[in-house]
Amino acid sequence: MSAWPPASLLPLPSAVPVQPVTGLTLAQSGERYLEACRLRGFSGTTLKSYAQGLRYFQQWCEARELRHPEQLTPLLLNRYRRAVFYLHNKHGTPLKQRSQAKYLTPVRSLFAWLAAQRILAFDPAASLEMPRVRQELPKHLLTPKEVEAVMAQVDITAPLGLRDRALLEVVYSTGLRRSELAALQLPDVNLESGWVMVVQGKGGKDRRIPIGTRACLWLAKYLHDQRPYLLGSHTHPHVFVYANGKPMSEDKIYRCIHGYIEAAQLGKQGGVHMLRHAMATHMLEGGADIRYIQAMLGHEKLTSTQIYTRVQDNKLKDVHSRTHPAGVKKKTPDVSGGEDT
């Protein structure tokens, strides 16, 4: 993120002379709201994103001597939206709509909560326009052959080899998010029946996911042959652990998988999400109903699944040429429009 506030922004008017009703500062209001989100079961990833968004908003307000929620008007909140629009990332390029939304969503949610709790008389952010987030195709997609090339990068004789191979296999078989992998515990896995239970996944929802035979075999080998030695004196139930026995973090899981994708020298960059997307796409191409894929991925809306499971353009073109009546080449058609001579 760039320095705050951006130098390109015009100075805004001084604080609106509104006396605070409750005495709560913006910082205190934000803390209470985040605590309410925790009690509602928001995921750690969402809480972290909300906390970051509110922190930048508070810094923006502090620079303009806006310290209490009562001082924020619809006009000022829309000016904050404009400020976010002009933000640049660390590479100097403008933020995409999805990144802008990460700044604005927690702010709009905060004021909606303050109004609902009667801390504010009305919601000044009710009319705050959110950026239209475009559903974009992923930049890179792994083919089944490329997935196997990634798997082959793991040296299973290395101290962490079995863990890493099991991790890759579980992601590709189930499509779990990295937050769900980090939270996965032994009671959540039933290798005999071939099921994995995701407890309190995204949106605070549980779901039951089938896991393939190959993934079960690698996971069983890791749990039996390597995890007890990595665990040492620790007694926690987390499935994937560091060499020191502590549970693997989301960031470590991402970097682990990213490293193997990079080592495969496919010219493609990615991590957990790339294997998650590969699982969904390969199942769809194999004939799976998109509603089953939606259930596995834990998507609330089918439109989200449709983006994850878009086939490559060349695959779509190949299917079209093989199946469309006008695309099947039996003989060269006469397109001259003239009569035979």
Point out the residues that are catalytic.
177, 202, 273, 276, 299, 308
Share of the chain residues as helix, strand and coil, in percent rounded to the nearest 5: 50, 5, 45
DSSP tag of 287: T
Q: Which helix H or strand E contains 255, and what residues bound it?
A: helix 250-263
Peptide bond into 5 cis (omega under 30): yes
Residue 316, φ and ψ in degrees, nearest 5 = -60, -40
Strands, DSSP E only, in the chain? 189-190, 195-198, 207-210
Cα distance between residue 172 and residue 181, in whole Å: 12
* 126 Cβ contact list (under 8 Å, min separation 6): 74, 111, 112, 115
Structure letter (DSSP) for residue 88? B
Report the C-alpha dihedral over residues 17, 22, 23, 24, rounded to 10 degrees.
Answer: -100
Q: Which residues pair with 145 in a beta bridge?
A: none
